[in-house]
Structure formats: structure tokens, C-alpha cells
Chain A
Amino acid sequence: MRLGGAGGPGPLTRRAVAFVEAGGEAPSSDPVGDALVLAGRLAGERPFVGEGGTADLWEALATLAAHDLAVARTVEPHVDALTILHQAGRDALAPEGSTWGVFAAEGPGVRVTATEGADGSWNLTGTKPWCSLAGRLSHALVTAWVSDDERRLFAVDLGDPGVHPSEAWAALGLPTVPSGPVDLDGVPAVPVGDAGWYLRRPGFAWGGASVAACWHGGAVGLARTLLEAARRPRSVDDALLLQHVGAVDVRLDQARRALATAAAAIDAGELDGAAGAIEAARVRGTVSRTAEDVLRHVAHALGPAPLAQDPRHAQRVADLELYVRQHHAERDDASLGRKVRDLAEPW
């Protein structure tokens, strides 16, 4: 899937296309395993945001997402982690073939504390919420409190006996990508960047736009089902169906343009710091609305039949409905509104 621009698809997108074509029409019996193998093999392609190939990376993620959101949902945090390690100058922490997650959420009543030993080594103890695939990944970047008011990022080997993932996951969407709490009990950890660097680093917001590229791909996957329906001979000139196709096309075009513009600006070095945070929030707001609108249009156009009879369509809908909730809707709008209010001349 292309976001625009001249020339052919980049190396990451070509890999994603090959992956999708190899999968073919039969759903995989282990989509997460497929995705982890793919993710582990992407490191050599330097899949970093902000190094000139951002559009290629987002096209690759969108391509995977249009095929199977669980695959994109698995690959996206991995490339986010590799980008963070690269920005910190710590690429060497990722062994060949390793698979990474980024566990940076905070939750009510839980906390992970980092403790430095006398020999300068660190270990982590506490409970981290929202740790996707903690039971299947080899490594993760984990934020932990080093004082009452400051967090630091650490690299952790998830094979350590002190790592205890929870298997609880009731979601109907992304059922193969459980995202539960992990208990850490004195787990050895390697600091990545200084205290506070994770949130301050250039490009903290870019990873959030990579997630939006996945939502966009998910919306395209659903829209393709709508398009197929509109192209059936018996649907010829079905005005209501075509209205939905047109409305969906407008939404997808908005999302595509938002992503393409942001990718070019990130690679041009124009979106560091506050400008990056605002632009990423706009992209996420635009693409999340596209996803919600496409879900509604496709549902209204096609009715209950594909939801009830087409397992891949039903799964796509459930996956996208859950994944797009990583955008916190009105809360994220309010957060953006605060930033816009304080700009001298936002528009």
C-alpha cells in the first residue's frame, strides 16, 4: 500500500508485500508467530522512524495491517523499540532475531521501581500494565520509576525467571495479541538513555503516528471488502453502496495525506519536540476518525451478513475497533486542544 510519492515501494514495503502474498488466501494458524519471525528479520533493513524511510515503514505497516491487524500490531512495537534503541545509540542491545515490545504504560495502583545495586547494575520490581505479547517476545523496553517523580527506560530480557506475564485477555479483537499485566521480580535491566530521556527524546511522538499507519491499513482492509461488494454485477449502480464507497474514499484519502505529509516532515527534520507532538496528535486524530467512519460506513453498507458469515471480515472489524481505541478520543482531542490554544497562530 502506498501513501504517495514517486518511485516504487521501499525495501520494508516490498518485504511486507512478499509476506502478505506468501500468506495468500488461507489465514495462518500462527499469525503472531509469522509476524514475530518477520519482525526479527527486519532489523537488517534498519526500520527506523525519522531516518529517511519513514514513509516506507508506514506503508509497510499499513500493508500488513490491511492483511491482518494482528500482524501489524505485533510488528509496530518491535520497530518502535528498534528505533528507540537506535536513537539511544544502543542498537547492540538487540541480538539478531530478537523480538521486542515497548512496555511504557502506567496504571492505577501499579508501579515498577528500578533499583541500582552497589555494582552499578539495575533491576526492576513491580507490575507493568498493558504488556502486549510479553509471553512470546524475547525482549522489551520497560519504563520504571527511579525516584518519586522520574522514570527511566530499561532493556529487559523477558526470558528472565523474574518475568511473570498474565495470560488474562478477554478481547474479541486482536485475540492472538494479549496485552496484560506483567509482574517483575528483581529482573536485571540495562538503562537506555538517562532518566527522563524516553519522554524527552526527539521523536517520542512519532511512534504514535506509526500506530496510526496501522489503523489506516486496517481501515483500508475493511474498505476493500466494501469495494468488492460494490463491484459485484448485481450491485451495479447501487446508489447507496456507491455513496458509502465515495464517503470512505474521502476518509481514506484524508488519512493517507496526513500520514504522507507527516512522514516527509519527520524525515526532513521538521518535527522535533513540540511540533512533532502536535503533528502526531493531528495524524492520530485524523486517522482514528477515518477508522471509526470506515467501520460505520462499511457496517451500514453491508449489513450483518459479512459480520455473521465472513470470519475474516468479522475479525477485521473486531480487531480495528479495539486497536483504534489506543486513540483516547475526546481525551486526546482535549490534550491537542490545550497545545493548540497555546500556539501563537495555529491556523
Chain B
Amino acid sequence: MSTVDLVPPVARCTTGLCAVAVVVPARDEEELVGRCLASVVVAVRRLRAARPEVAVRVVLVSDASTDATEAVARAVEGVDVLVVDAGAVGVARAAGVRHALDLLGDPDPAATWLACTDADSVVPADWLLSQVRHAEAGADVVVGTVRPEGLRGRRLVTWARTHVPGRPNGHVHGANLGVRVDAFTAAGGFPAVAEHEDVQLVEGLRASGVRIVASDEAEVLTSGRRIGRTPGGYAAYLAGDPWGA
């Protein structure tokens, strides 16, 4: 990979957003984390091409991994790796946020955006730019859509019916979530739980009255596997066949 300037100085930020923190928790994701981070790097490059003044840090949090997740992530240029042993995705995400904000030099929280995805996911190239555009238009939270890979037959038909272009359903997925850091902090951040930290965060944000935008512009693909890493996460939701015939 050619050298990319992912991290410009924060100093010149005057209007709009000045920094973006991307946080990706991972637990034993050696097979999928590489392609996830590759897609994030593409999204960072596209954001930097359109918004060269925005500083970006990408933090991969390897949580209680026993495989080569950390090594795979360290090989990706432009990604910082944080290793924790929490065994809880809420704790991992929260640690990743703190680490990313440290790396960015604690920028103005009202001008800093936090973008979250999961290590088994693949983000589209305009993922970050789309979130930043919503933020510039006044959004404090962007709830994005996801699509499981490998959907087939009736499940795909039903998925398509419940995901009409331009009418995002507003379901919360940690694999495609963006939030302004001041709103994130005021809502208490990610709760230290083993699952549903994404939904609980957005419930807190809703209660705080910030501006929440549902968007399907930059859909994230997630692995369609049936065995999840959290007890009741998206993989469990899929196994329950929510879109069954």
C-alpha cells in the first residue's frame, strides 16, 4: 500500500468538524479484521480527499483475542491497535474512544466525530464522508443501515422490503453508527456491558434530545454468520430469522 497521510495536524481546524475518531472493536476476528480495516482505510482516504483539514485516527481494539487479530491489525498502515482484556464489547468500544481521542490530542468535542463499525463488517468508500456531511448539516448522531452478506432467497426479498432506499428504518447497529463526541459524552458514552451497548447509547442520546439522523446512504455489510461474539448481538438476531418467509 502506498503511503497515505491519514493524520494531519489538528491546528488549522476553524469551522465544521476538525477530527474524526474511528473505533473498531474486535474479538478473535483474524479472518475478517483485515478486510474490515482495508475498507476503513479506503473510507478515510476518501474523507481526507474531500476534507483535508479533518484529522482522522483509526483505533482497532482487540478485546480478549486469542488469535492473530492484533497482528493482522498492526500490519494495516494507518491503524492504531489497542489491546484490552475486557471480554465485553461496551468496555472495548469505550476504551477505543478514549484512546482515539488521546491520539487526536483531545480536540474540541463539539467538533469531533466518532464513527463506529465492527471487525466483521465492511464499510463503503463513502462511509465517513457521508457521516461527516450529516454532521456538517447539524446531525449529532447518524444511525446507518447494515446488510448481512450472503442473504438469499426469501430472506433477501424480505430484507429488501424492509430496507427501501431513501427510507432508512432507524434500527441501531454498532457496525454503522456515528456520533458527535460532546453528545456521546453527555449521554454517558458506551455502557460497560457485554451486548446492546450500541442500542443503549442511542437510547441515552434520544433521551438527551440531540439531533439523530437515520441514513441508508452508506450501508455497511456485516458477516452473515450465525454464531456471534456477543450473546444477543446481530448474529443472534439473524439466527432468529427476523426476515423469515
Contacts and interface: CB of A to CB of B under 8 A. Distances in A.
B153 A24 contact: no
Contacts of B157: 40, 95-99, 138
Contacts of A137: 152-153
Contact of B149 (A22, A30, A95): A30
Contacts of A37: 147, 156, 159-160
B227 interface: no
Interface of B: 35, 38-39, 42, 46, 122, 124-126, 147, 149-154, 156-161, 165, 221, 245
Interface of A: 22-26, 28-30, 33, 36-37, 40-41, 95-99, 135-138, 158-159
A24 B156 contact: no
Contacts, number: 73
Given A37-B147, A95-B157, A138-B156, A28 B221 contact: yes
A99 B161 CA distance: 12
A136 B156 contact: yes
Contacts of B159: 37
Given A33-B149, A37-B147, A96-B161, 19 more contacts: A23-B124, A24-B46, A24-B124, A26-B39, A26-B42, A26-B124, A29-B149, A30-B221, A33-B147, A33-B150, A40-B160, A41-B160, A97-B160, A99-B157, A135-B152, A136-B152, A136-B156, A138-B153, A159-B153
B125 A25 contact: yes
A99 B152 CA distance: 9
Nearest to B40: A26
A40 to B, nearest CB: 5
B221 A99 contact: no
Contacts of B156: 33, 36-37, 40, 97, 99, 136, 138
A137 B160 CA distance: 13
A24 B125 contact: yes
